[in-house]
């Protein structure tokens, strides 16, 4: 049984800006390193070219109003209502192709879901994914669309129960918020504590609500 690595050079057509901490060129550098180690030549590995998601995929989580703002911002110009949706100078800049960039990232995650969910393989790796801060109607923390949430929603439609494990230095607040009252998704986040690091959440007492009580687990570290 093969494992999938999902990648496209089309990622490199987009740029958050020269001084932004998230440099998309890191994806190509990592891909080149993986190639240099001949990991993609292993018989157990299959390289899958990324296929874009579509707007309907994004709308399974994000509001139409927000998606319309992202599409307007994709021309690289700041419109009057962008600030209310978390867009603008700082963490979530507006740049040409912003909406298409989001479609690529989410598409790769949905490919990973399809690959594993259909039984083609046990593991699928979207090197560009994990944009876990985006909310239903707001960009946050370099994240415009929340590909983990959209992928998990697809798994739920397939009748699955999901354990989501987040090992980023920052709390996976967007994913936690999406499933905070649901008992079909267990979110586990290991991160630096919210007292000292963005997004200021992810404390031990955040355990879920209603049917979701006990299904949000946070392990904040110094």
What does the alpha-carbon distance between residue 61 and residue 64 come to, in Å, rounded to a whole number? Answer: 9
Q: Residue holding tokens 């949706």?
A: 85
Give me 200's structure tokens.
């200021």
Instruction: Tell me if residue 62 is catalytic.
Output: no
What does the alpha-carbon distance between residue 162 and residue 117 come to, in Å, rounded to a whole number? Answer: 12
**Of 9, 58, 64, nearest in space to 32 by CA:** 9
Q: What is the DSSP letter of 37?
A: T
Give me 1's structure tokens.
């049984």
What does the alpha-carbon distance between residue 222 and residue 209 come to, in Å, rounded to a whole number? Answer: 26
Q: Residue holding tokens 């995650």?
A: 109
User: Of these residues, 133, 170, 171, 191, which one is catalytic?
Assistant: 133
Contact assessment for residue 98 and residue 70, using Cβ atoms and an 8 Å cutoff: yes
Q: What is the chain's alpha carbon radius of gyration, rounded to the nearest angstrom? A: 17
Just list the catalytic residues: 133
């Amino acid at each position: 049984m093969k494992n999938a690595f999902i990648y496209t050079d089309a990622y490199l057509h987009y740029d958050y800006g020269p001084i932004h901490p998230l440099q998309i060129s890191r994806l190509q550098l990592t891909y080149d390193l993986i190639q240099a180690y001949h990991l993609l030549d292993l018989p157990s590995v299959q390289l899958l070219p990324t296929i874009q998601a579509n707007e309907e995929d994004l709308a399974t989580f994000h509001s139409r109003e927000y998606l319309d703002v992202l599409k307007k911002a994709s021309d690289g110009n700041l419109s009057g209502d962008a600030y209310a949706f978390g867009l603008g100078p700082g963490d979530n800049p507006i740049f040409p192709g912003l909406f298409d960039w989001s479609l690529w990232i989410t598409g790769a995650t949905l490919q990973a879901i399809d690959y594993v969910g259909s039984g083609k393989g046990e593991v699928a790796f979207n090197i560009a994914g994990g944009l876990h801060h985006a909310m239903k109607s707001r960009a946050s923390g370099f994240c415009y669309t929340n590909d983990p949430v959209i992928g998990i929603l697809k798994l739920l439609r397939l009748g699955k129960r999901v354990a989501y494990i987040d090992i980023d230095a920052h709390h996976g607040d967007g994913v936690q918020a999406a499933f905070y009252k649901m008992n079909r998704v267990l979110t586990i986040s290991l991160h630096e504590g919210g007292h000292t690091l963005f997004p200021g959440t992810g404390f031990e007492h955040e355990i879920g609500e209603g049917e979701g009580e006990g299904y949000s687990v946070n392990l904040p570290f110094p």
